[in-house]
Amino acid sequence: MLLTSDFVTARYEALRKRAPDLQIVTELGAGADPDVTALFAFKLPAGIAPRLPNLQLAASVGAGADGILSAPDLPGHVKVTRAVEPGLGLSMAQYVSLQILSHFRALPQMQAQHAAGEWKRLPVPDARDVTVGVMGLGAIGSVVAEVVGALGFKVIGWTRSEARAARVPVFVGEGGMDAFLARCDYLVCLLPITAQTTGLLDRSRLSKLPTGSYVVNVARGGIVVEQDLLALVDEGHLGGATFDVFATEPLPPSSAFWRHDKVLVTPHIAAQPSVGPVVAQFIDNLRRLSQGEPLLDEVDRRLGY
C-alpha cells in the first residue's frame, strides 16, 4: 500500500495500529513497484499510477475523489473510492449554519458596534421568510439541508441529474435551475466537481439569484466562477459570500478575495473526515477487494462521484 502527501501520512499511525501486518510504502523508488495494490491519497499526481502495474484500488482520504480522478494516467480498471463517515455531514452543517447565521443575524455589524462601544438594537429577522437553497443532496448535502431547516429556514434543493430522496422540495437539472436560483436568499454549493459542474455557477446563473443573496461555497473550487461572483458583489446584486474552496489553493495573497469586506475566506476547513472511520473504511475495502466483494463508497468514474 502506498501513502501520498503529508495530509495522508498523518493517517499512518492509525493504519499501522489497525493493520499491523499491512506493508505500507511512503516513497516510491525510481522504477516500478509491482507489490503495491492500493494507494491512499488526496491527490494523485501524474506519473505515479504507471509505476504501479498491479494497482487495483485508489482510495481518497477526502469526501471527494476529484484529486484522484484528475490523474490523466490512472488505468480504467483501477477502482476509486471516497471517504464517507457519519460525522462529516454534521460537521459541514455546523460550518454552513455558522456562515448563514452570522450574515442573517448581522454578527459583523454587532461586532463593529461592540468595538465602538455603541448600544444600538438591531431588528430580529424571521427565518421563516428566508429560503436556503442547497446544491447537491448527497450524504453531506442532505444533512446540511436537515440542520438548516431545523433552524427555521425554508430549505430547497437542486441536483444535477436525479431527484434524491430528500425531505425538502427538489429541483432537477438544467430545467429546474432558474426556478431554484430565483428562490434562494442563501445559496449553498455542495456539488462534486465534474466536467459538467466546472464553471456551472457563472455570472449568468448567479445573476438569477435574488438581489442581496448570499453564497456559501463549500464544495470544490472551480464550480463557482470566482471573478463573476466578486463582480456581482461589487455591483450590489449579491450581498456577500463565504468561500472555503478555491480554484487555486492555497489562495494567493494577491487574490481580491482577501481584501473584500463582504467576503469571508476560510482555508478549506469546513469539514474533514475523522481519521478513525476513514482508516477503518479503507481497511475494510482492502478485505473486500481481496475477497471480490463490492467496495464501500465506490466512485462511478464516468460521473465523477
- Residues with catalytic roles: 220, 268
Dmax of the chain from CA atoms? 70
204: Cβ–Cβ under 8 A, 6 or more apart, which residues? none
108: Cβ–Cβ under 8 A, 6 or more apart, which residues? 102
Cell of 192: 462534486
- The answer to whether 84 touches 297, Cβ cutoff 8 Å, is yes
Q: What share of the chain is helix, strand, coil (3-state, %, to 5)?
A: 35, 15, 50
Helices 86-104 and 107-116 meet at what angle, rounded to 10?
60
Q: What are the Cα distances from residue 115, in Å, to 73, 105, 132, 237, 260?
A: 55, 17, 30, 29, 20
Residue appearing with cell numbers 462521484? 305
In 162-218, which ranges are continuous DSSP H helix?
173-182, 203-206
Nearest Cα to 70, choosing from 222, 250, 209, 287?
A: 222
- The answer to whether 261 touches 236, Cβ cutoff 8 Å, is no
In 76-140, which ranges are continuous DSSP H helix?
86-104, 107-116
